[in-house]
Copies of this chain bind each other. A is one copy, B any other.
Amino acid sequence: MGFDLGFLVGKMGSTTLATSEYSSVVSMNLFVALLCACIVIGHLLEENRWMNESITALVIGLCTGVVILLASGGTSSHLLVFSEDLFFIYLLPPIIFNAGFQVKKKQFFRNFMTIVLFGAVGTVISFTIISFGATKIFTKMNISDLELGDYLAIGAIFSATDSVCTLQVLNQDQTPLLYSLVFGEGVVNDATSVVIFNAVQNFDLSQITTAVAFQLIGNFFYLFITSTLLGAGTGLLSAYVIKKLYFGRHSTDREVAIMILMAYLSYMLAELFYLSGILTVFFCGIVMSHYTWHNVTEKSRVTTKHAFATLSFIAELFIFLYVGMDALDLEKWKFVKDSPGTSVEVSAILLGFVLVGRAAFVFPLSFLSNLTKKAHHEKIDFRQQVLIWWAGLMRGAVSMALAYNQFTRKGHTTFTGNAIMITSTITVVLFSTMVFGLITQPLVRLLLPAPKTLNRMISSEPTSPKSFTVPLLGNGQDSEADFGQHVPRPSSLRMLLSTPSHTVHHYWRKFDNAFMRPVFGGRGFVPFIPGSPTDQSVHQSQQHLVAEEPTRNQEC
């Protein structure tokens, strides 16, 4: 049907609908074509160790921005109107869900306390330093119109780690500890950001008392725990529903649909209850990969694994492409024309604060974290600390969205101060993503020259990283071989009991095997029914027989 198409994202003004709708079709075409170009060029540049797909998308976005700017005679550089909605409702959930779905669970939970320490306390430290620094320096400079709330918002904006970029820059298989620390921190960071941002906007911050501070801390814990529980609950519900309903007659499309919808539902429920959707959907992903994923057919497993990864991949490209394109928007730069020096100065100062603010918590908190660990191989050595510091420096779409939220609400960047903050955010995002992002990979190779040894040292059990990549997609024989290979591994059991955190893990496994898995399913816990219409019943029965061995080789 060729009539009356309008692109939903572009909020249409009072201009003629027909033309604006047609122009949005043009935009969408260009945007989708550019996404294809990003994938193809990204693939061609894969050999180049310095580039990654997000930087490719950023550069392509910038180039397209220049072309559109020239073609439109300097009026506009971007195709779509960026909306927070688009970002927070459509693009972010698949990215974070996929991260939870594919995360190495054992690695993540083993470092859980460190991650929470970095994500919560670290973000507060970073926020305090940036806010304090901004208040001191920007009031001395000639930037008017900024109030206390704005300075605090600046702290929140530039403390928001870009989880998306972390996923792109760090490699889970290459540096599993770093990945789980930096990415996990990014997820917890979100819960902290929500608390801080709400606090900045709602509380009367001119008089911070001990009571208010405690209230904030309580608020954080409430948010963290409820979000986690909500995510885990939705994930468990999906596992239970699929296990009960699809008993004996599986339907791949329905299973996949249920998983997608439930994952999305968890995110939207969190938004409904003013919780952290990112935390919720992340834990929903973890629970789904631990239970639900094992209750579905072989085909559903392959489909969900790759469909979620693909959705996340497209969403990431979309964000970077857009950020690149949006950077050249003249509207925003127009207001800082009179004082280009100030904008550059502010950006440089903010970048400095980001560097200092992150250093101020990574090194002390790593020291603290190391104090609690007994085993030498579990401590974070100095090189790793440098990498953790560096890999979390990127600021991305979350910072952009926060900045738009804070500085375009009142007056739409007509105040010089607001305009400067917007352009500075863009500059910091572009600079940190491109420069810091480009340097991260070489830095990893420089500081961790033998990633293989390190990898083996950190994740002592090859089941953990392998479990998500090898046995799931292999056929029955593969799966059996994998199981058989790892069952007689007494050393891993000894390992498990050597440190306190491992004991927790041990008890969790016991609890999981005794109570959770019989109810919610999970690997090897889906009963085999002879003559059920599943695809490869032979395979299933094999898996079933194997699964009756003591499930010592479970993942988490």
- Whether A28 is near chain B, meaning CB under 8 Å from some CB there, is yes
- Whether A260 is near chain B, meaning CB under 8 Å from some CB there, is yes
CB pair B9 A8 closer than 8 Å: yes
In the complex formed, the residue of B with least CB distance to A409 is: B4
Question: Contact check: which of B246, B302, B314 meets A299 at CB < 8 Å?
Answer: B302
> Interface digits, A263-285 against B, CB 8 Å rule (1 contact, 0 not)?
01100111110111110000000
Within 8 Å CB of A29, what residues of B?
265, 268-269, 272
The CA-CA distance from A40 to B274 in the complex, in Å, is 28
Within 8 Å CB of A475, what residues of B?
475
The CA-CA distance from A13 to B260 in the complex, in Å, is 30
Within 8 Å CB of A326, what residues of B?
none
CB pair A252 B83 closer than 8 Å: no
- Whether A33 is near chain B, meaning CB under 8 Å from some CB there, is yes
CB pair B5 A314 closer than 8 Å: no
The CA-CA distance from A3 to B194 in the complex, in Å, is 8
The CA-CA distance from A85 to B11 in the complex, in Å, is 12
The CA-CA distance from A92 to B274 in the complex, in Å, is 33
Give A293 Cβ to nearest chain B Cβ, in Å: 14
- Whether A136 is near chain B, meaning CB under 8 Å from some CB there, is no
> Interface digits, A392-413 against B, CB 8 Å rule (1 contact, 0 not)?
0000001001100100000000
Those of A280-310 within 8 Å (CB) of chain B:
299-300, 302-303, 305-307, 309-310
CB pair A268 B32 closer than 8 Å: yes
A245-B6 contact in complex given A1-B276, A261-B39, C-beta closer than 8 Å: no
A473-B535 contact in complex given A40-B241, A256-B307, C-beta closer than 8 Å: yes
Those of A21-48 within 8 Å (CB) of chain B:
25-26, 28-29, 32-33, 35-36, 39-40, 42-44
Give A192 Cβ to nearest chain B Cβ, in Å: 11
- Whether A498 is near chain B, meaning CB under 8 Å from some CB there, is no
Give A484 Cβ to nearest chain B Cβ, in Å: 20
Give A234 Cβ to nearest chain B Cβ, in Å: 10
Give A36 Cβ to nearest chain B Cβ, in Å: 5
In the complex formed, the residue of B with least CB distance to A401 is: B1
CB pair A314 B261 closer than 8 Å: yes
A26-B261 contact in complex given A245-B44, A310-B253, C-beta closer than 8 Å: no
The CA-CA distance from A8 to B270 in the complex, in Å, is 18
CB pair A43 B254 closer than 8 Å: yes
- Whether A99 is near chain B, meaning CB under 8 Å from some CB there, is no
A264-B306 contact in complex given A2-B198, A4-B84, A25-B272, C-beta closer than 8 Å: no
The CA-CA distance from A85 to B307 in the complex, in Å, is 25
The CA-CA distance from A5 to B194 in the complex, in Å, is 13
Give A475 Cβ to nearest chain B Cβ, in Å: 6
Give A143 Cβ to nearest chain B Cβ, in Å: 25
Within 8 Å CB of A28, what residues of B?
89, 268
Q: How many residues of A contact B (CB 8 A)?
A: 79
Question: Contact check: which of B241, B257, B278 meets A310 at CB < 8 Å?
Answer: B257
Give A465 Cβ to nearest chain B Cβ, in Å: 17
CB pair A85 B8 closer than 8 Å: yes
A254-B39 contact in complex given A2-B275, A260-B310, A260-B314, C-beta closer than 8 Å: yes
Within 8 Å CB of A35, what residues of B?
257, 261
- Whether A197 is near chain B, meaning CB under 8 Å from some CB there, is yes
Within 8 Å CB of A278, what residues of B?
1
A276-B307 contact in complex given A25-B271, A83-B8, A89-B7, C-beta closer than 8 Å: no
Question: Contact check: which of B43, B86, B265, B405 meets A32 at CB < 8 Å?
Answer: B265
The CA-CA distance from A275 to B262 in the complex, in Å, is 36
- Whether A313 is near chain B, meaning CB under 8 Å from some CB there, is yes
- Whether A68 is near chain B, meaning CB under 8 Å from some CB there, is no
- Whether A185 is near chain B, meaning CB under 8 Å from some CB there, is no
Give A436 Cβ to nearest chain B Cβ, in Å: 22
> Interface digits, A418-433 against B, CB 8 Å rule (1 contact, 0 not)?
0000000000000000
- Whether A132 is near chain B, meaning CB under 8 Å from some CB there, is no
CB pair A272 B26 closer than 8 Å: yes
Within 8 Å CB of A92, what residues of B?
1
Question: Contact check: which of B2, B190, B245, B277 meets A43 at CB < 8 Å?
Answer: B245
Within 8 Å CB of A307, what residues of B?
256, 303, 306-307, 310
- Whether A251 is near chain B, meaning CB under 8 Å from some CB there, is yes
- Whether A258 is near chain B, meaning CB under 8 Å from some CB there, is yes
3 residue pairs, one from A and one from B, having the closest CB atoms: A303-B306, A307-B307, A256-B310
Q: A5-B88, A32-B264, A40-B245 are in contact. List 7 more A-B contacts (CB 8 A).
A: A2-B277, A8-B86, A8-B90, A25-B268, A43-B245, A254-B313, A256-B310
Can you give 22 A-B contacts (C-beta < 8 A)?
A1-B401, A2-B198, A2-B274, A5-B271, A7-B85, A8-B90, A25-B268, A25-B271, A32-B265, A32-B268, A35-B257, A36-B261, A36-B265, A40-B258, A43-B245, A43-B246, A252-B309, A254-B313, A260-B314, A303-B306, A307-B307, A473-B535
